[in-house]
Each structure stands twice: as structure tokens, then as C-alpha cells.
Structure 1
Amino acid sequence: MSSTTAGHESLFNDDGETAGRPLRMKGHQFLAEVVRRSGAKAVFFVPTFLYPTLVEWADVPIKRVLCHSEKAAGYMADGYAQASGIPTIVIAQGGPGASNLYAGLVDAWQSHTPVLAVTPVLPSSRYHGNAYQEAYVDFRTVTKYDAEVRTIERMAEFLGKAYREMTTGAPRPVHLYLDGALEAEESEFDFRYLDQRYFSYPAFRPRADDDLVERAIQELRHAERPVMVCGRGTVVSGAWAEVTALAEQLDIPVTTTLGGKGSIDDRHPLALGVTGSYRRPSTDQVILDADLVLHVGTHFGGATTNMRQMPKPGVRAIHIDINPAQPGANYPNVLPLVGDARTVLGQMLDAVRSGGRGRHGVWVKTAQKRLTEWRESQRDNMYGDAIPIRPERLAVELVKACPEDTLYVTGTGYAGTWAGVFMDLPAGKSCLHCEGSLGWAFPAAIGAKAAVPDRPVLAFESDGGFFYHLTELETAVRNGINLVTVVLNNQAMALQTHLLQACWPGYRDLDKLSKFGKTNFANIAREMGTWGIRVTDPRDIGEAVRNAIDADRPAVVDVVIDQAAVAPMAFMAGQGSRATALPVPKNKKRYE
């Protein structure tokens, strides 16, 4: 034990005697004890701030992951919290460092992930005195709670409030400005502010109104074409068993958002796959034909509803959400069931079992037929040996090659759509999906692997996304975080390339706007100390991935894919506003 903890050995015992009484210690000892009690096994940081606390964590012990950018550190904390169910801390210095960290919290805000960000606040003696790096970042737009900790006496109170805000209701990031001088000060800390229940999420599982639950069941029974849409909140709540049981009892098909993948086994007869802007076309058609939609843990947001085109305006909806403000906020004609997804679905199961099974067999067969026809239309791309490799074949081969308990961490846009649409995964926390920050998947997967070191973790990212935080390969190597990263290498920002080609067909010099030079990521990875291989033939994917998992160090699989492969996005099929052909700029002409 370090000299800083000498005389405080009892703080790190689990005898329970210290849980409910004040303890006298220094600020850095208190911060170290808070993280130990939370159950988090890693923190992520970019110096220079909270060094005494970082030293203290060596004896707890907590893995201290020094990152190459604050933004990546935020993504790692995000991935850690999602994979473990336990919030962790990300630390950055003020000014420019804090502004970088702000960007790293946007995805956690959108995905409802609890992350505690800590940055320094200038002491009053230096405030507005042209201090070095004096710049204030307003974290309030990407956090649920934001406060300044300026006195040692109130540190426990503010930490307790931060954990309560993170893990109750709809979870989200929080931020504390902390006076670093408090680390050296000594005080009595009242640990009653830090109740154990707030160290994991969801901290509470509220029930919905029983009368509304009964109404929902009756409407689902009487509907001719009901369908369930499960979002990220379903997975956060751990409600996949309840989703499956309710769907079987009512005999209704189930779709998911990209973030809700894992709400039901993709191979279940009632599972139709992802819906929304990034979707299987057959699934979206089921939503359009439905006369009642049960949304579980979703926001009825733009991607889920394909820019508010589905379900059709006026169609009845039932909306389960832990946030009372959400049901009906983005879509009218909603029956609100406010509560935790797993709890409310359990209430529905209790209510529905007394009335026998649902009778929607004809509707289910129609939905299954559409899914079968779609699969058949994709067979050549999913199982063919085309070179360059088709992304569909890559997604299928990855699932075949990886163990059943693999945790997939997928990027946004192009990469995320291929994964969501063509990877058939089991129910459970099998996939973490980016909400929209290009470059998120790789560092988030580092965080996820730190959280679940005994599970295989595979990042599925495009070359455009991987370029963002390529330097964090060194972070993974240095910390022995042995994830596998599969890079879809088509030497382009493929989504942008395809949008440009759709909007300005024949216009010259488009390559300069969205395409890269040739890069071999396997070579770069090997130079940085990881295991690396490049794959150009689809028949080699399985062996390459299995070897990467067995490499016992971070691994990169660079897969050369077909640049012409257009992701199955609704707006690329002309169903959204962005695929509309744009006029040619004045004084220019088309080059046919």
C-alpha cells in the first residue's frame, strides 16, 4: 500500500462497517474509495489532473488507462459503462482538454450512458486572471447534472448527487468541475451520500400504472397487425427475456432499432431485424402496414421512424419509457406506459397470461414471408465469393467465426448498418452500437473489453472511422486490452461517396471529396505492437478472425471490401430527403 493510504487500510476492506458512517481522510483517498465502492475496475484519463488520486488507485486496484485524446477517453468510458452496467470516471484537464472531452460525451448523452466526467475548476484567486488555459466549457448540453466542487466539506454530497443523477430515470452523463487542491485537504466524508444502489443502473425499476397496462394488453389483443419495436432502453434494462416471452404469448412480430439489437434473438421466428432509416426493407414494410405499434425503450426518434414516416401518421402506438416526458413527445396517439422496460413488460406478461395466447398467426406469416423473400434477395451477396469482398459476406462470416458470447461494438452510419442488418446475434448484451459519432467504435470497444476482459470483444468499424483514433492502438497494447478490430477498408467515406454520386451523377472531381489513398491497416497495426492481417478473399475471413481472437494481444483485421457496395439505408433507396437529386452548380456541366 502506498504512503498516501498508510493509516487508512480499513478504508479498502469490505466488512461493511464503514458503509454508513463518516470517515476522516484526504480528498484523493475519498475519490479512490468512491470508485472502489462503485465496482468500476477502470478509469480513463488524459493528464494533467488528479494525479494524487490516480496514484491512490494503484492500491485499490483500478486500471488507469492513459489515452491519447480526451475524446477517445470519453468513448472508452462510454463503452465501459455500457458493457459493465457500472458508470466509470473520465478525467481531463481544463480548457482545450475539457473541450475535447465535451465532444467525447455527445454519444453517451444520445445513447443514455452514465459517465462521470471530471475536469478542474480554477481556484477563486486565479479566476479571470488570464490563467494558463483558462477557458470554460459548458457541459450542460451533454450532461444530466453539472456542478462545481469548491469545498472539501461538500465533496461527498456532490459525488452522491452525480451518481444519483447518472443512474436514476433515463441514465446519462454528468460532469463535475473539481478544485484539484481539495485532493490534499483532509475532512470527514459522510458516505451515506453514496448509497450502493446508485453505483449501477438502472438504480430503480418503476412500475407503470396497472390500469394502463391492462388497456395496452386489450389493444394488442384486438389489433389485427400489431408489431413491437425495441430500442436501446430494452437492452439497458436487460429485458430481452420479457420481450421474447411477451411476443410469444401475444403472437406478434418483433423489430429493433440498431441500438436495441439484442432485445430478441435475431434467429427467433418472431424476430424481423432492424427497422428505421438503417434497416431491412422488409422490416420497415411491416411497420408501415401495422395498425398498432408497441415501442419499448425507444424515443420515436428520426432514425427509428425514418424521419417520421413510419408508422404512418395516426396509427395507434403504445410507448414504454422510464422518462415520463417521452411517450407522445415525438408521435401523437400514444398510450403511455411509464416505467422500467423490464418491469413494465413483466406487468404485461402477468396480465396477458390470464387471457390465453394471441391470435395473429396470419399477420406473423405475412411478416415472416417478407423477411424470407428479403433474405433470398441478398443470398448472393451474403454467401458469394466476390472480390473485392462484399460487406454482407463479411458480416455473416464474422458471426460464424466468433464465439457465441462475443460482444460486438459497431460504428455509426456505413459500418453500423451492415452490422445491424446482416449480423444475426443472440439475445442479451451482444452488440453496442454508436449513436452517431464517427470514430466511436474502436475506443468504445477498448473500454468495453476493459469491462468484460473474459469475453471476446470485436470492434466493427469503417476505415473512415478507424482513422479518427488510430493512435489508441498503442493504448490497447500498453494496457493489455486484447480486443479485435475489424476494419471495413474501401479507401473512402463510402456513405458520402454514394450520396455524392446519387446527387451529382457524372460530376468530375468527386473523388477529392470523399475518397482516401491506399492504406494497409494491418501493417500499421503490426508496427504499433498488435497482431495484424489483411484479408482480400472472403474465404479467408473466418480463419483470420479466429486467429485474431487467439492472438492474446490486440489484433486488427483489415478487410478490403467493395467500395461500390451501397449500405441498406432508407435514404439511399430514395425514401428520405437526402437522396433527392440536387442541381448542378451554376457554370458547371455534367461529365457523362
Structure 2
Amino acid sequence: MAYPKKLWQGSEFLAATFAGYGVTHVFYIESVLRQTLIELERRNIRRIMTHSEKAAAYMADGYARASRRAGVCMAQSVGAANLASGMQEAYLAKSPVIAITGKKPSMYRYRHAYQEVDHWPLFEPVSKFNTSIEHASELPQAIRQLFREAVTGTPGPVHIDMPNHQAGIIERGDIASDLIIEKSFSRIPPFRPIPDPAAVKAAVDLIYKAERPLLVAGGGAVMSDAGAEITKLAERLNIPLATSVDGKGIMLENHPLSLGIMGGYGRACTNAIAAEADLVVFIGCSACDQTTKNWTLPSQETPVIQIDINPAELGRNYPNAVSVLGDAKAAAAAMAATLQAPHPNAAWTRKAAQALAEWRKSLIPARADSGSPIKVERLCQIIQDELPEDGILVSDTGFAAIWTASHIDLTKPRQRYIRAAGGSLGWAYPASLGVKCGAPDQPVVCFTGDGGFWYHVAEIETAVRYGIPTVTVVNNNRGLGMCRKQIHEMYGNAEGNRDEMYQFRAASFAQLAETMGAVGITVIEEKDLAPALGDAIRGGKPAVVEVITDITGDPQLY
């Protein structure tokens, strides 16, 4: 879509472009692009000022993943390094985030300018596309390319550097240009490449020849919104489906063919089935070290079919017996359409279902335990019970990710799961605020530990200031649970003060939340947990529910 050519001021052009691409929120730290921010208000785009640049990047990431639109974050020159550090999560999550930074004009380079280092190398390892401009006349082409790069192929974060430290030179500059909005590049995916029919046939033929085939869906399948098509493919074949952590929820997790998460953060039963598979079909899944337990599940000798929208990913981590280039949704639909009958080895599917049933049975005592301190297994059961049918569960990394990924099932079609894909502890809380901005009509529940919550606890004030009503469950065990396990294993029987390496002083996050104007609830007894969580979800206000739990809980025991 092109609007009539006119003379624009840079700030006006940038704001109009954001509005045209459907951006509804911008996350930033003062002071950058001030005139643009004023223009954004005139276009009803919300300006969310955070307490740190890293939190702004995390919020933009959460927004992007929830909305499937580009998330925008901004910082002035001295904050660029902090913003770049927050972009690691978006990069590893393949999330379409646009980062804008100010920089000193080129005449300041190599002259020991105040607050200035070269930003380009900071963003290069965490950006799919990294650029800079010097003149306002360059903005129209550059900004369109940012959106194009962010959402096409394998999505990813992009960065642009603008002079001066607040990017004011670009804002004040004149632009004689059409306002061109390429609507195709406003969402993920902009296009759905259809796979080669010959590759589809080869893949289906190989599945029928295998005795123990396994489907594995990843984050790319979620971004493609391929859940219905992948479920139909699994049902028509009658073979089991596992997922990566980022693929969680692509199939309802109470579906008889669903095995849940595999890999380092996965279930022992799912990993056992993956080890037995004689063919694995990766759908929109990078087959990374976490999903495959360092490329041992499946073994490198196991035949693999890989379906991906990016040809560079085909065979990256496993040699492909068949490579299918295409969108996950389109490819799964094409494969399902060619099927004539279910896979002949129904016994394999029954074995997988039995393994999962036995795993679930082993959890029953802990998930029903009403003792004190509260077991995290019980906390997970109650979150699963209380999560609304359209709720989005946002999780931190470490034990928080294992608890939520493997011990909380998503059983309703509109429920979603979003986690710290890059493993940055503390990501979840600010990201959950971005998720709520990107999906304002859906309840958002964040799960983090006290170790993760400490990172960005100041953003409670941000949530209150802007009225962003998420519910944050803090698994408060006064320490770093995953680190505790590893530190105790390393100490063995040796003497020493191991506790100081993972333990915190007692603190009340509920009281802190109340001080900032949010709802704060402390839960010590199991009987109070479900009412507290339910009330917080229904309350419609920013809320922190801290649950005092046993630090010895270990999700990897199952």
C-alpha cells in the first residue's frame, strides 16, 4: 500500500510506518526518538517506558511472539550495549524484534566521544540483519527492509543505528517520499511456501517403510500456527508426536498421540521413545542440542526427515534422508492429504502411549501432596487446573522451564506456552508484560523462581503504571534450585559452605508488589494455593503470587 508522496519529517514518517505495519506498542528507555514518541501517541501506539534496556528488549520479544508481529524496542547511544544483551533471547528464539539505537554522528568517531562505543559489533551476533543510516533520506528503504528481514524465512531480530545519541538527526530530517506499507511483511509468516510434491511423496513413503516413526514439532511450527495440520497428520498416520520446548502445545497435551517434551528439559518417557524410533520427522524444529540431548536423540544413524522454511536448516544438525522445503503448516497439510491409510505398526503407538501413562502415574503422589512446604509438583498441578482456556503461560529458564514444559499440560486449543528460548534467567517477567501487550484479550500467567524474579523486579512498577494485568507465580524457595542440585553434586561429601553459592535471604515479593501498587499474595499452605491463583487471574490487575516451596524439588527425577 502506497500513500501519496509528500514532504515528511523523519519522526512523522517513522511513526506513520509503525502504524501502517500494525505496531501497537513500543518499548524503550528514555531518552531516544522523543519527537517520534510524541507522534506515536497521536497514532494511538502505546509507549512503554521500562526500567532497563534489557527489559525493553525482553518485552518486545514477548510482544512479537504473542502477536506474531514485529516488536519494537529503542534506546539511546549509551544504552545500546544493554539493549544488545537483551537481544540474545530474541535471536535464539527466532523472534521478530526491531531494535533502534541512537549513535553519535560520524564526525565524533575515534575522538573519545562521551557515552559512545561502536554499536554495530555489539548487535552483529544477535541480529539477523544489522544496519545503520546517516541521513533521513535513507529511512524509507531501511525501515521497510527491517520489517521484511524480521518476519521472512526464519524470523529474527534486526537492528538499526541512527545519529545522534537520541537519533534526533533522523527525526528532524526531511523525507520526500511515498509512505509505502508492505502489508505482507506485517505478520509471521508473510508467505507460506508450498513444498515440492516429490519431496512430500518421498517423506510419506519413508514414514510408511519405518517401523517406529516419531514426529517432532518445534518452535517454527508454532510460529506457523500449524497445530491443526500437524495434529491431523499425526492422527491420519496414527503415530506419536513429541515436541521441543518451544513447540509445546502444538498438539493438545491430553491428546492420545501426544508425548510432550523431549530432550534435556523433557520427560524421561518421551526420551526413551525417541531413542527407540527408527525414523524421526522434524517439523519446524532446529533439532538443537537441548531438544536432542546433544544430538543423541535420535542417534546420528537414525534416518531423519526435516521440514523447514529455510533451506540452510535442512541437514544442519542431522543428515536428512528426505528434506522438505516449505512452511510447516503447508507441508503438514500436503503430507496429510496424500495419506491413504494409517501407519501399519499400531503396536508402536500403543507402546508410546503406555510409556507416557506410566510416567504420569509416577507423578500422582507428588501432584496430590498437600503437605508443607508446598511441593512444586503440586504447584504445577494447580497452575494447570487454574490456567484459563485461552491462557498464555510464560516461563523462565532452568528448573522453571522444566517444571512448566514437562509438568504442566496445555489441554485447551487456545492455550499457549512461551519460554526463555535462549536460557536468560530473569527473562520471563518482563517478557510476560510484552506478551500481554501483544495479546491483550488473553490471560497471561508468568512462572518464575525467586532467582529469576530478582533480575527485573522493578518492572512491577511498569506493569502498574501502564495497567498491564499479568499474574506472576514466583516459586520462592530462597535460592537457585537448579544450581543447588549441581553444586551439591560437585561438593559430594566434601566440607564447605555450599549454601552461599545458591541461597538468598528471605524476602517478601508480595509485600514488594503491594508497595508498588500491584496485588501481592503469599501462599504458604497448599489449601490456599488454588483460591489465591484463581482470584489473581480473575482480578484483572497486575498480581504477584509468591508460593513458598521446597528447594529440594527436582523436575529431572521424572
Please give the range of the TM-score, normalised by the shorter of the 2 chains: over 0.9
Question: How far 1:428 sits from its partner (Å)?
Answer: 5.1
1:360 Cα deviation after fit:
2.9
Q: Does the 8 Å CA contact 2:103/2:116 hold for their aligned counterparts?
A: no
Instruction: Quote the residue 2:203 is aligned against.
Output: 216
Deviation at 1:224, TM superposition (A): 0.9
The separation in 2 between residues aligned to 1:552 and 1:251, in whole angstroms, is 42
* Cα pair 1:235 1:428 within 8 Å, conserved: no
User: Quick one: which of 128, 132, 139 aligns to 2:110?
Assistant: 128
Amino acid at match of 1:387: S
CA shift, 1:346, in A, is 1.2
Query: Is 2:188 aligned against 1:201?
Result: yes
The question of whether the paired residues in 2 share the 8 Å contact of 1:262 and 1:428 is answered with no
Q: Match of 1:270?
A: 257
3-state SS of 2:8 partner:
strand
Question: Counterpart of 2:84?
Answer: 102
Q: Is residue 432 of structure 2 the alignment partner of residue 445 of structure 1? A: yes
2:42 maps to 1:54? no
The offset of 1:356, in angstroms, is: 2.3
Matches within 5 A, 1:360-371: 360-371=345-356
Relative to the length of structure 2, the TM-score reads 0.96
Deviation digits for residues 58-89 of structure 1 (CA, Å, limit 9, x no counterpart): 11011100000000100000000000111021
Partner of 1:66: 49
Q: Output aligned runs, 1:535-554, within 5 Å.
A: 535-554=523-542
In the TM superposition, what whole-angstrom CA distance separates every residue of 1:476-496 from its partner, at most 9, and x where no partner exists?
A: 000000100000111111101
Match of 1:433? 419
| 1:149 shift after superposition | 1.4
Report how far residue 427 of structure 1 moved.
4.3
Deviation at 1:20, TM superposition (A): 4.8
Cα distance in 1 between the residues matched to 2:236 and 2:4? 49
Alpha-carbon offset, residue 329 of structure 1: 1.1
**Aligned partner letter, 1:120:** G
CA–CA distance in structure 1, aligned partners of residues 493 and 518 of structure 2: 42
Cα offsets for 1:177-206 (capped at 9, x unmatched): 0122121122222333x4111111111111
What's the CA shift for 1:528? Answer: 1.1
Check the 8 A contact 1:81/1:115 in 2, yes or no. Answer: yes
For 1:149 and 1:27, how far apart are their aligned partners in 2? 12
**Unaligned stretches of 5+ residues in structure 2:** none
Of 148, 151, 170, the residue aligned with 2:154 is 170
**1:263-412 aligned within 5 A:** 263-352=250-339, 355-412=340-397
Q: Deviations over 1:454-489 (max 9, x none)?
A: 211011111111000000000000000010000011
User: Which residue number in structure 2 is paired with residue 184 of structure 1?
Assistant: 172
Provide the C-alpha distance between the structure 2 equivalents of 1:383 and 1:373, rounded to a whole number of angstroms. 16
Matched, 1:517 2:505: yes
- Indicate whether 1:156 and 2:143 are aligned: no
| Aligned equivalent of 2:124 | 140
For residue 547 of structure 1, report the CA deviation from its aligned partner. Answer: 1.0
Contact 1:387 1:536 in 2 (8 A): yes
1:325 aligned counterpart, secondary structure = helix
Shift of 1:525: 0.8
Code of the aligned partner of 1:383: A
User: Residue 9 of structure 1 aligns with which residue?
Assistant: none
Higher mean displacement: 167-176 or 221-230 = 221-230
Letter in 2 for 1:167: V
2:523, 2:548 within 8 Å by CA — same for their partners in 1? yes
RMSD: 1.3
Aligned to 1:38: 21
Aligned-partner Cα distance in 2 for 1:334–1:414 = 35
The DSSP-based 3-state class of the residue aligned with 1:28 is helix
Match of 1:556 among 544, 550, 555: 544
1:506 CA displacement: 2.7
Structure 2 CA distance for aligned equivalents of residues 21 and 362 of structure 1: 65
Match of 1:590 in 2: none
2:12 partner SS:
helix
User: How far apart are the structure 2 equivalents of 1:167 and 1:195?
Assistant: 12
TM-score (norm 1): 0.91
SS of equivalent to 2:344? coil
Task: Give the share of equivalent positions with the same residue, in percent.
Answer: 36
**Deviations 1:1-56 (CA, angstroms, capped at 9, x unpaired):** xxxxxxxxxxxxxxx7xx25433211000111011111121000001110000111
- For 1:233 and 1:182, how far apart are their aligned partners in 2? 35
Q: Deviations over 1:334-358 (max 9, x none)?
A: 4211111111111111212xx1232
Residue 429 of structure 1: CA displacement?
5.8
Structure 1 residue corresponding to 2:520, chosen from 510, 532, 548: 532
For structure 1, which runs of at least 5 residues remain unmatched after alignment? 1-15, 574-592
TM-superposition CA deviations, 1:381-413 (whole Å, max 9, x none): 111112111111111101211211011101111
Q: For 1:36 and 1:166, locate their aligned partners in 2 and report how far apart those are by CA, in whole Å.
A: 17
**Amino acid in the other structure paired with 2:464:** V
SS at 1:304 equivalent: helix
Distance in 2 of aligned mates of 1:538 and 1:156: 57
In 1, Cα distance between equivalents of 2:227 and 2:6 = 41
Is residue 479 from structure 1 mapped to residue 473 from structure 2 by the alignment? no
Tell me the equivalent position of 1:111: 93
Q: Distance in 2 between matches of 1:452 and 1:94?
A: 30
Q: Is the contact made by 1:167 and 1:199 (CA closer than 8 Å) also made in structure 2?
A: yes
Q: Compute the displacement of 1:422 (Å).
A: 1.0
Distance 1:204 1:22 in 2: 28
Q: Distance in 2 between matches of 1:26 and 1:20?
A: 15
SS at match of 2:153: coil
**How far, CA to CA, are the matches of 1:427 and 1:227 in structure 2?**
22
